[in-house]
Amino acid sequence: MIISRRIEIDMGHRIPNHKSKCRNLHGHRYVIYVYVEGEENKVEGSSDEGMVLDYGDLKQIMIEEIHNRYDHSCILYKKDEASIAFKIISDKFKLKTYLLDFIPTAELLAKHFWELIEDRLKDKGFKLHSVVIHETPNCKAIYENK
């Protein structure tokens, strides 16, 4: 069985080498789905009997690892020259800005979010199936580690 949970975050970014307007600093309302694979819990009388994973437990992991870190932040590629200048301004005004080791495309963010939550799920005995990010209502990226 596969279950999923959704969260949303607002986040700014820039794609430095993009041929069009995405090279400008801009933001999105990202919709993030995490899919977890497993069997139903058959322990009679347990709180999560009949569930693969309690949705609330999955939400807590997503909130702690993704939402609390990145909501209302700006993420930039650390090798982008503009990000260096922006980070100086961010530090001065205490803005929530992160410099990443990768260009913050939807595809690479899906992989990054996977890496943030995979161990937390493994520690609880669950298998992460996929992470899906909608950057806009019409555009999404899916990361599956097969």
**Residues with catalytic roles:** 22, 72, 135
pLDDT for the residue numbered 44: 84
Quick one: which H or E segment has residue 75?
A: strand 73-77
For residue 8, being part of any structural domain is answered with yes
For residue 36, being part of any structural domain is answered with yes
pLDDT for the residue numbered 72: 98
For residue 138, being part of any structural domain is answered with yes
Contacts of 83 (CB under 8 A, 6+ apart): 14, 16, 76, 77, 99
Strands 73-77 and 2-13, by their bridges, are parallel
For the question of whether the overall pTM of this predicted structure is more than 0.95, the answer is: no
For residue 15, being part of any structural domain is answered with yes
List the structure tokens of 7.
């969260």
Structural domains in the chain (count): 1
For residue 95, being part of any structural domain is answered with no
For residue 93, being part of any structural domain is answered with no
Burial of 32 (0-12, 13-18, 19+ CB in 10 A): buried
pLDDT for the residue numbered 116: 97
CATH of the domain at 14: 3.30.479.10
List the structure tokens of 128.
């992460």
Q: How far apart are CA 126 and CA 145, in angstroms?
A: 14
From first to last of the 146 residues of the chain, give the pLDDT tens digit. 999 999 999 999 999 999 999 999 999 999 999 999 988 887 887 787 778 899 999 999 999 999 999 999 999 999 999 988 998 999 999 999 999 999 999 999 999 999 999 999 998 889 999 999 999 999 999 999 87
For residue 57, being part of any structural domain is answered with yes
3 state SS of 2: strand
List the structure tokens of 2.
């596969």
For residue 92, being part of any structural domain is answered with no
Domain hosting 47: range is 2-73+105-143
pLDDT for the residue numbered 97: 94
